[in-house]
Chain A
Amino acid sequence: NAGVMQNPRHLVRRRGQEARLRCSPMKGHSHVYWYRQLPEEGLKFMVYLQKENIIDESGMPKERFSAEFPKEGPSILRIQQVVRGDSAAYFCASSATGSGNQPQHFGDGTRLSIL
């Protein structure tokens, strides 16, 4: 399967714990995006990364959230000290370029539940 791979598919955390979401982009893609979807809503942009660089994190909360895309390995979205409001589906997408003429391709998401 050469698609975008996200794991885990489901993640349950207690309030105050840390959540780590992983994303491996499609083969040949070096542009990674993270989105969050709340129930009955569209996806909301969080962060855009290229290898080892954060290009745009304007959609990401300033506190508790961080993202990285290291030279080797998957992109990681990290949420520290989770709260109930962090419960959502988190989707990762990748593209070959950062331009709109190359569509973003999505993984199946990680559903984060906070107890």
Chain B
Amino acid sequence: EDQVTQSPEALRLQEGESSSLNCSYTVSGLRGLFWYRQDPGKGPEFLFTLYSAGEEKEKERLKATLTKKESFLHITAPKPEDSATYLCAVQGGGADGLTFGKGTHLIIQP
């Protein structure tokens, strides 16, 4: 059974204070690791897909990296508008949908 564990559960940072979110996974036949952002009352918004260890993707202040056992979402000089819950998900070799972690609730204080 595919499993995803995200840490920390919650993180409060000052504006401009860089940090990283962790996503540990176990999966049978990784087809992709996905990062999403979810704002309150909204659906998850797609950010990145990573397919193999060593791969990196960047978008504005966010950078996602992947190893064989975990992925990191690095947030550089965050702004208050980066406050959201960040979800990590994996697609394994089975036909089921993505398996999600419970997310990291990120708060950026001005």
Task: Report whether chain A binds chain B.
Answer: no
Report B's interface with A, CB cutoff 8 A. Answer: none
